Amino acid sequence: MTTTSSVLVSNFKHWGIHHIFGIPGKAISPILFEVLHHEMEFVLSKHEAAAGFEATGYAQMNRKIGVAVGTSGPGGTNLLTAAGQAKASNLPLLIITGHPSMKDTGKAMGQDSSLFGADLVDMFRSVTKFSARVERGDMLKPFLEHALEKALSGVKGPVHLSIAFDILLEEIEPFQLDLPVPHEMISPKTSEVIEKLNIAKRPLLFLGKGVHSSRAYEEVQQLAEHWNIPVITTPGGKGTFPSNHTLSLGAFGLGGTPEATSYLQEKVDLLIVIGSKLSDMSTAGISEAMYPEHVIHFDYDPTFIGKSIQVPTTPVLGDIKSNLTAMLKDMPKTDSEAFLTPIKEIQLQENNPGERMSAVQVLRAMRHALPNDAIVFGDDGSHSFYGIKHFDIYKPGTFFFDDIFGAMGNGIGYSIGAKLAAPEETIVCLVGDGCMFMHGTELSTAYNYNSPVLFVVLNNGRLDMVEKGMQKMIGTSIGGVYETPLNVKGFAESMGLEAFTCHDPYDLSNKIKESLLKIKETNKPIVIEALVDEHEIPPTMGRQ
């Protein structure tokens, strides 16, 4: 016999989890004590929401699952945002929260998370795939097994277990669970899809972040190349298809390119949507006159199929990679290299003396300086929409951005967790001053736990996307401009990090190159602040 908390942590280790993220509290302390005995690292985050973001980024890169823990009451409610973000990102996250002992249920208790207090189990239900309270030690095995199945099957996502303090100390029979291997069903519609592709005169592929979730990069390229179909991406689908591919038209929706819009305006007979809900972020700029004659929609979840673009639609349900593999199994392999054009040297352009850089210059300087396989996590804000439009992708799976939930600061946490899961990768966080105000203290977490992310912060002293949106709607803004702008360099240095402020793209490009070399030497994160034009209009004004 051993304690519930020991069994829990033993399973974490069995799954190949080397880091768990959170903030201590009495209700979860038995879990933390066990971490000491299992050669794992507990990462002390600075806010529980950030702990959840970090665990989700960890899951993104370890391709297994991430674990975040929070104490009862406010520790749990702070993790709600991270759960909503993980659900939108389709990433498997196990959230464990505590609450005071079950034997005290019904009494007045501080930070009570039972039915008599802040019922975390109920709160988490709408932002997770499964949420339950473990009320006896012998309930842990079936509840944990079910949570894993939910997190890792179908549309992957977060799950939540609330375990009371006395249950974590209860002795139970030890057990070991393997992470489930999903058995994917193949849609019966694949033959119909092939028929429609064969007769289509002007088809178009529209890729969403479901391609990231399924890691169907090669299959999507083969599909496009075999039928010679041009490709556009949603904001969340950025990074799923190389920019230097001859069939790439860039992004559509917010941050979209003129080429993508132009192709849709000239009438498409068949639109093949892969892994997108087609939210207002993705369909911004499309009118009924641009609607295709027919839509083929690949997705796991049928909820939003046929809702945004109301034309005859063929749903292809199930895992994207599995369905595309089944479709392409009898097709000859294409030579993807033959479709790639040589990467052109980016020419940097000096900004006028005394003027700030444009955000476009910043993104071009980043692309100029970063290696082709650098992985960029775009935080939520106009800075990432500049990236969607102006940052070229040379290797699929190297740009991640959420266009659905949009929690500010998530990219900071995602990048920190990602780097801990994959220390060999070059990880970059593209972030704005607004997101830094929200979760910038996680720079300390990156520094203390040797997660050497390169943070590039676009600073224009405002909540840019919101402020410019209000200006467009009513001619003024309320609460969109910071009276005292963030001193990013000073803020980062106060937590021990090395930081630089750049005023022109040449300096920025050089600092990025120098910082990447220094990161390898020191194993510490570095922050680069880019001062950008406060009045530049971001590529986000097409949303209604």
Residues 428 and 480 in one domain: yes
Closest to 28 measured CA to CA, from 100, 126, 120:
100
The DSSP 8-state label assigned to residue 423 in this structure reads: T
Last residue within a domain, chosen from 138, 172, 206: 172
Structural domain including 246 reads 190-339
Give a yes or no: residue 241 inside a domain. yes
Residues 495 and 374 in one domain: yes
What is the full per-residue pLDDT of the chain (544 aa) written as tens digits?
899 999 999 999 999 999 999 999 999 999 999 999 888 999 999 999 999 999 999 999 999 999 999 999 999 999 999 999 999 999 999 999 998 876 767 666 667 777 766 899 999 999 999 999 999 999 999 999 999 999 999 999 999 999 999 999 999 999 999 999 888 889 999 999 999 999 999 999 999 999 999 999 999 999 999 999 999 999 999 999 999 999 999 999 988 999 999 999 999 999 999 999 999 889 988 999 999 999 999 999 899 998 999 999 999 999 999 999 999 999 999 999 999 999 988 999 888 888 999 999 999 999 999 999 999 999 999 999 999 999 999 999 999 999 899 999 999 999 999 999 999 999 999 999 999 999 999 999 999 999 999 999 999 998 888 888 888 888 888 888 999 999 999 999 999 999 999 999 999 999 999 999 999 999 999 999 999 999 998 888 765 5
Give a yes or no: residue 350 inside a domain. no
Tokens 């990880």, residue located: 427
Residues 166 and 236 in one domain: no
Residues 220 and 300 in one domain: yes
Last residue within a domain, chosen from 172, 203, 218: 172
Which backbone phi and psi does 28 adopt, to 5 degrees?
-110, 5
Give a yes or no: residue 544 inside a domain. no
Closest to 390 measured CA to CA, from 427, 362, 411, 431:
362
Three-class SS state of 374? coil
Residues 126 and 53 in one domain: yes
Question: Beta strands 294-299 and 313-317: pairing type?
Answer: parallel
Give a yes or no: residue 352 inside a domain. no
Tokens 């599995």, residue located: 322
Give a yes or no: residue 143 inside a domain. yes
Residues 436 and 499 in one domain: yes
Give a yes or no: residue 353 inside a domain. no
Give a yes or no: residue 103 inside a domain. yes
Give a yes or no: residue 449 inside a domain. yes
Question: Beta strands 2-3 and 171-172: pairing type?
Answer: antiparallel
Tokens 């804000």, residue located: 381
Residue ranges with strand state E in 100-194: 130-134, 158-164, 171-172
Total tally of structural domains belonging to the chain: 3
Residues 168 and 218 in one domain: no
Residues 284 and 424 in one domain: no
Residues 406 and 487 in one domain: yes
Residues 16 and 165 in one domain: yes
The enclosing domain of 506 has a CATH number of 3.40.50.970
Which pLDDT does position 476 carry in this prediction?
Answer: 85
Residues 510 and 364 in one domain: yes
Last residue within a domain, chosen from 283, 305, 339: 339
pTM: 0.95
Residues 149 and 194 in one domain: no
The enclosing domain of 274 has a CATH number of 3.40.50.1220
Q: What's the CA gap between 271 and 258, in Å, rounded? A: 18
Token pair belonging to 544 = 């209604």
DSSP letters, 90-121, are T--EEEEEEES-GGGTTS--TT--STTS--HH
